[in-house]
Amino acid sequence: MMITITRLYDSRTDAQDVVRSLEAAGFRDQDLSMIASNRDDWYERPSDSGDDAGTGAGIGAVIGGGIGLLTGLGIMAIPGVGPVVAAGWLAATLAGAGAGAVVGGAAGGLIGALTDSGVPERDAHVYAEGVRRGGTLVMARVSEDRRAEAERIMDGHESVDASRRRVEYEREGWTRFDPNIPLDPRVPTYRERV
Protein backbone atom coordinates (compact mmCIF):
# COMPACT_ATOMS: atom_id res chain seq x y z
CA MET A 1 0.00 0.00 0.00
CA MET A 2 1.31 3.45 -0.95
CA ILE A 3 0.92 6.44 1.33
CA THR A 4 1.60 10.10 0.61
CA ILE A 5 3.94 12.15 2.76
CA THR A 6 3.72 15.91 2.34
CA ARG A 7 5.96 18.65 3.68
CA LEU A 8 6.12 22.41 3.16
CA TYR A 9 9.43 24.28 3.17
CA ASP A 10 10.04 28.00 3.46
CA SER A 11 13.40 27.52 1.79
CA ARG A 12 13.32 26.40 -1.83
CA THR A 13 16.89 25.16 -1.38
CA ASP A 14 15.81 22.92 1.50
CA ALA A 15 13.01 21.50 -0.65
CA GLN A 16 15.39 20.83 -3.53
CA ASP A 17 17.83 19.15 -1.12
CA VAL A 18 14.97 16.95 0.13
CA VAL A 19 14.13 15.87 -3.42
CA ARG A 20 17.78 15.08 -4.14
CA SER A 21 18.08 13.13 -0.87
CA LEU A 22 14.94 11.14 -1.63
CA GLU A 23 16.24 10.32 -5.11
CA ALA A 24 19.64 9.33 -3.69
CA ALA A 25 17.89 7.01 -1.22
CA GLY A 26 16.23 5.21 -4.12
CA PHE A 27 12.76 6.75 -4.09
CA ARG A 28 11.50 6.80 -7.65
CA ASP A 29 11.14 10.12 -9.48
CA GLN A 30 7.63 9.21 -10.57
CA ASP A 31 6.64 8.99 -6.88
CA LEU A 32 7.91 12.48 -6.05
CA SER A 33 6.34 15.88 -6.64
CA MET A 34 7.39 19.45 -6.00
CA ILE A 35 5.44 22.69 -6.31
CA ALA A 36 7.25 25.95 -5.59
CA SER A 37 5.99 29.48 -5.73
CA ASN A 38 7.47 31.44 -8.60
CA ARG A 39 6.13 34.67 -7.15
CA ASP A 40 9.62 36.16 -7.18
CA ASP A 41 10.40 34.89 -10.72
CA TRP A 42 13.29 32.71 -9.54
CA TYR A 43 12.73 30.15 -12.27
CA GLU A 44 12.65 30.96 -15.94
CA ARG A 45 11.49 28.18 -18.21
CA PRO A 46 14.01 27.29 -20.93
CA SER A 47 12.95 29.03 -24.12
CA ASP A 48 14.34 26.57 -26.67
CA SER A 49 11.16 24.46 -26.75
CA GLY A 50 9.04 27.10 -28.44
CA ASP A 51 6.14 26.01 -26.21
CA ASP A 52 4.60 29.07 -24.60
CA ALA A 53 1.78 27.10 -23.01
CA GLY A 54 3.54 26.32 -19.75
CA THR A 55 4.49 22.99 -18.29
CA GLY A 56 4.80 20.99 -21.50
CA ALA A 57 7.81 18.77 -21.98
CA GLY A 58 9.14 19.18 -18.45
CA ILE A 59 6.25 17.37 -16.82
CA GLY A 60 6.13 14.83 -19.63
CA ALA A 61 9.80 14.07 -19.07
CA VAL A 62 9.25 13.59 -15.36
CA ILE A 63 6.43 11.14 -15.97
CA GLY A 64 8.83 9.17 -18.15
CA GLY A 65 10.97 8.74 -15.03
CA GLY A 66 14.61 8.03 -14.49
CA ILE A 67 16.01 11.49 -15.21
CA GLY A 68 15.62 13.23 -11.87
CA LEU A 69 12.62 15.19 -10.72
CA LEU A 70 14.38 18.55 -10.63
CA THR A 71 15.30 18.35 -14.32
CA GLY A 72 11.61 18.14 -15.19
CA LEU A 73 10.51 21.47 -13.73
CA GLY A 74 7.88 23.45 -15.62
CA ILE A 75 5.84 26.59 -15.01
CA MET A 76 2.08 26.66 -14.55
CA ALA A 77 -0.49 29.03 -13.08
CA ILE A 78 -2.76 28.04 -10.21
CA PRO A 79 -5.70 30.34 -9.44
CA GLY A 80 -5.22 32.12 -6.14
CA VAL A 81 -1.61 30.95 -5.94
CA GLY A 82 -0.17 32.46 -9.10
CA PRO A 83 2.79 31.14 -11.04
CA VAL A 84 4.41 28.01 -9.68
CA VAL A 85 7.30 25.83 -10.71
CA ALA A 86 6.15 22.23 -10.58
CA ALA A 87 7.26 18.71 -11.36
CA GLY A 88 6.01 15.21 -10.74
CA TRP A 89 2.68 13.45 -10.51
CA LEU A 90 0.90 16.24 -8.65
CA ALA A 91 1.96 18.74 -11.30
CA ALA A 92 0.67 16.42 -14.01
CA THR A 93 -2.63 16.13 -12.13
CA LEU A 94 -2.91 19.91 -11.90
CA ALA A 95 -2.02 20.38 -15.55
CA GLY A 96 -5.01 18.27 -16.55
CA ALA A 97 -5.47 16.56 -19.86
CA GLY A 98 -3.55 19.14 -21.91
CA ALA A 99 0.07 19.81 -21.07
CA GLY A 100 0.41 23.41 -20.02
CA ALA A 101 -3.31 23.93 -19.44
CA VAL A 102 -4.14 26.50 -16.81
CA VAL A 103 -5.83 24.89 -13.84
CA GLY A 104 -9.53 25.67 -13.64
CA GLY A 105 -10.78 28.20 -11.13
CA ALA A 106 -12.89 25.69 -9.23
CA ALA A 107 -12.29 25.53 -5.51
CA GLY A 108 -11.13 21.96 -6.01
CA GLY A 109 -7.95 23.00 -7.90
CA LEU A 110 -4.92 22.65 -5.64
CA ILE A 111 -6.92 21.73 -2.54
CA GLY A 112 -8.72 18.96 -4.46
CA ALA A 113 -5.47 17.60 -5.88
CA LEU A 114 -3.92 17.53 -2.42
CA THR A 115 -6.89 15.89 -0.70
CA ASP A 116 -7.25 13.38 -3.53
CA SER A 117 -3.62 12.48 -2.83
CA GLY A 118 -4.38 11.72 0.80
CA VAL A 119 -3.60 15.06 2.46
CA PRO A 120 -6.15 15.95 5.17
CA GLU A 121 -8.21 18.95 4.01
CA ARG A 122 -7.21 21.04 7.03
CA ASP A 123 -3.52 20.61 6.12
CA ALA A 124 -4.17 21.04 2.39
CA HIS A 125 -5.41 24.59 3.05
CA VAL A 126 -2.25 25.42 5.00
CA TYR A 127 -0.02 23.92 2.30
CA ALA A 128 -1.79 25.82 -0.49
CA GLU A 129 -1.53 29.07 1.45
CA GLY A 130 2.13 28.31 2.16
CA VAL A 131 2.87 27.94 -1.55
CA ARG A 132 0.88 31.11 -2.25
CA ARG A 133 3.13 32.96 0.19
CA GLY A 134 6.37 31.75 -1.36
CA GLY A 135 6.87 28.24 0.04
CA THR A 136 7.71 24.97 -1.65
CA LEU A 137 5.69 21.77 -1.27
CA VAL A 138 7.30 18.33 -1.60
CA MET A 139 5.23 15.14 -1.76
CA ALA A 140 6.39 11.55 -1.83
CA ARG A 141 4.32 8.43 -2.46
CA VAL A 142 6.01 5.65 -0.55
CA SER A 143 5.30 2.12 0.60
CA GLU A 144 4.48 1.69 4.28
CA ASP A 145 7.77 -0.13 4.89
CA ARG A 146 9.74 2.95 3.69
CA ARG A 147 7.58 5.54 5.43
CA ALA A 148 9.95 6.16 8.36
CA GLU A 149 12.92 6.57 6.02
CA ALA A 150 11.08 9.10 3.83
CA GLU A 151 9.83 11.04 6.86
CA ARG A 152 13.34 11.15 8.32
CA ILE A 153 14.70 12.59 5.06
CA MET A 154 11.85 15.07 4.65
CA ASP A 155 11.92 16.22 8.27
CA GLY A 156 15.70 16.64 8.24
CA HIS A 157 15.52 19.85 6.20
CA GLU A 158 13.50 22.30 8.33
CA SER A 159 10.03 21.44 7.15
CA VAL A 160 7.16 23.64 8.28
CA ASP A 161 4.92 22.36 11.07
CA ALA A 162 1.48 22.71 9.45
CA SER A 163 -0.30 23.11 12.81
CA ARG A 164 1.96 25.93 13.92
CA ARG A 165 1.79 27.64 10.55
CA ARG A 166 -2.02 27.45 10.68
CA VAL A 167 -1.94 29.31 14.02
CA GLU A 168 0.34 31.99 12.50
CA TYR A 169 -2.03 32.47 9.57
CA GLU A 170 -5.11 32.54 11.80
CA ARG A 171 -3.56 35.33 13.89
CA GLU A 172 -3.65 37.38 10.67
CA GLY A 173 -7.37 36.65 10.23
CA TRP A 174 -6.91 33.84 7.70
CA THR A 175 -9.42 30.99 7.90
CA ARG A 176 -8.70 28.87 4.82
CA PHE A 177 -7.14 29.01 1.37
CA ASP A 178 -9.52 30.62 -1.10
CA PRO A 179 -8.38 30.53 -4.75
CA ASN A 180 -10.88 33.26 -5.62
CA ILE A 181 -9.15 35.82 -3.42
CA PRO A 182 -5.98 37.07 -5.06
CA LEU A 183 -2.93 37.38 -2.85
CA ASP A 184 -2.46 40.93 -1.70
CA PRO A 185 0.92 41.97 -3.13
CA ARG A 186 1.59 43.73 0.18
CA VAL A 187 1.54 40.35 1.97
CA PRO A 188 5.20 39.42 2.25
CA THR A 189 6.43 35.95 1.57
CA TYR A 190 7.62 34.07 4.61
CA ARG A 191 11.23 34.70 3.60
CA GLU A 192 10.53 38.45 3.37
CA ARG A 193 8.98 38.43 6.86
CA VAL A 194 12.01 36.70 8.34
Task: Give the span between the Cα atoms of 164 and 133, in whole angstroms.
Answer: 15
Residues 118-130 have pLDDT tens digits of 999 999 999 999 9
pLDDT computed for residue 63 by the predictor: 35
Return the exposure string of 61-71: e unless at least 16 CB atoms fall within 10 Å of the residue's CB, then b: bbeeeeeebbe
Report CA Rg, the chain: 16
The reported pTM is: 0.78
Q: Where are the alpha helices (DSSP H) in 66-107?
A: 89-95
pLDDT band, residue 185 (cuts 50/70/90): low
Task: Give the span between the Cα atoms of 192 and 179, in whole angstroms.
Answer: 22
pLDDT at 8 over 80: yes
pLDDT computed for residue 78 by the predictor: 81
CB 74 within 8 A of CB 87: yes
* Mean residue pLDDT across the chain: 79
- DSSP strands (E only) in the chain: 2-9, 32-37, 74-78, 82-88, 136-143
Among 34-43, 113-122, 154-163, name the one with the lowest average pLDDT.
34-43
pLDDT computed for residue 37 by the predictor: 87
pLDDT computed for residue 84 by the predictor: 87
pLDDT band, residue 61 (cuts 50/70/90): very low
pLDDT computed for residue 187 by the predictor: 60
pLDDT band, residue 179 (cuts 50/70/90): confident
